[in-house]
């Protein structure tokens, strides 16, 4: 049966009858969870099962679990982490990829135990001095090649745990000093500099199955529209950066985008997004998306099916989390004693 080209949130820790009926009618491709959806492990596992049952298929269930500033599963019930930029700065560059692999192996196993099979990471935006804290604290560094190495390690850790990664925020959210949750950032950097710095990690990781756009207007790509709504920017992502995975918008309810929700959805898909991501669980906005979004077909269907095939083919080997954390502590101790 056809699936709606959308990823939805829900309002709380349990599905309401109205939400279950809505998801059953529209069969979204996937779901995304937030802290408002979390009480404890048993409740969260039940919610994940209920979401898939409501949609009538083995829908991907996403979460943003980076650790630090962006974490939906909090300590002490789940493992707590520092923000990536600060944490990695305390390690020598040679140790950072292994540290990130272990970090995301732990995160991935915690997610998989809950039935969550997609994590919105790695975030390979390259940090700049002016980067807004909402992004900067979560970055892996300011050198593109170091960011690539850390991002690849994140992917390795997640896949080993049986969780799909999402490459974000394509083609880069490292330059803006504005927060796209509140307003539309604009970047006027010349294209050659963007290619050499901002776009480089996305080219290196362009084989990943899923990606998320940046709500940023890059005037070198399109002086009029943010990436999410720009056919010119999307063409650059596909043809020059070379990303052929399923591409979801960043959250369409963010302040960077203006106009009615239905118009945002139509513009995103017309530009080249495969999936509309909507996070806040508000019924009226979700209804507008369900009316405006297409069902998956053509290249969008091919790409999303490829992501699901990769997910279904993963064979995770569970390693006790205390053992993984002990390896990580050992790595940190070696650094301190070096």
The residues assigned a catalytic role are: 181, 250
* Among candidate residues 111, 13, 130, the one with its CA nearest the CA of residue 64: 111
Question: Do residues 84 and 133 lie in contact, with contact meaning Cβ atoms separated by under 8 Å?
Answer: no
**What is the rounded distance in angstroms from the CA atom of residue 249 to the CA atom of residue 173?**
13
Question: Do residues 276 and 293 lie in contact, with contact meaning Cβ atoms separated by under 8 Å?
Answer: yes
Cβ count within 10 A of residue 309: 10
Cβ count within 10 A of residue 203: 15
Question: Do residues 105 and 81 lie in contact, with contact meaning Cβ atoms separated by under 8 Å?
Answer: no
**What is the rounded distance in angstroms from the CA atom of residue 325 to the CA atom of residue 136?**
25
DSSP string, 180-221: TTTS--EE---HHHIIIIISHHHHHTTT-SEEEE---EETTT
């Amino acid at each position: 049966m056809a699936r709606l080209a959308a990823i939805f949130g829900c309002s709380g820790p349990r599905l309401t009858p109205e939400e279950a009926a809505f998801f059953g009618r529209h069969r979204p491709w996937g779901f995304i969870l937030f802290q408002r959806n979390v009480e404890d492990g048993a409740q969260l596992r039940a919610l994940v099962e209920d979401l898939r049952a409501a949609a009538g298929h083995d829908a991907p269930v996403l979460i943003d679990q980076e650790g630090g500033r962006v974490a939906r599963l909090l300590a002490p019930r789940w493992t707590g982490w520092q923000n990536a930029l600060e944490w990695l700065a305390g390690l020598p560059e040679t140790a950072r990829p292994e540290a990130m692999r272990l970090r995301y192996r732990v995160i991935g196993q915690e997610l998989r135990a809950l039935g969550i099979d997609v994590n919105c990471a790695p975030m390979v935006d390259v940090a700049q001095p002016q980067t807004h804290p909402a992004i900067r604290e979560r970055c892996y560094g300011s050198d593109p090649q170091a960011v690539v190495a850390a991002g690849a390690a994140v992917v390795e850790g997640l896949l080993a745990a049986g969780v799909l990664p999402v490459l974000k925020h394509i083609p880069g959210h490292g330059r803006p000093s504005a927060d796209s949750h509140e307003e539309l950032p604009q970047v006027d950097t010349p294209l050659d500099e963007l290619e050499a710095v901002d776009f480089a990690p996305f080219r290196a990781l362009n084989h990943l199955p899923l990606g998320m756009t940046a709500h940023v207007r890059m005037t070198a790509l399109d002086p009029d529209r943010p990436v999410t709504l720009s056919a010119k920017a999307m063409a650059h992502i596909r043809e020059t950066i070379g990303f052929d995975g399923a591409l979801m918008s960043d959250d369409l309810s963010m302040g960077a985008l203006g106009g009615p929700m239905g118009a945002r959805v139509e513009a995103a898909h017309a530009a080249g997004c495969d999936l509309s991501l909507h996070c806040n669980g508000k019924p009226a906005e979700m209804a507008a998306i369900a009316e405006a979004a297409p069902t998956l077909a053509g290249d969008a269907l091919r790409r999303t099916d490829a992501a699901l095939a990769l997910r279904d083919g993963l064979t995770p080997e569970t390693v006790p989390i205390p053992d993984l954390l002990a390896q990580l502590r050992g790595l940190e101790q070696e650094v301190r004693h070096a």
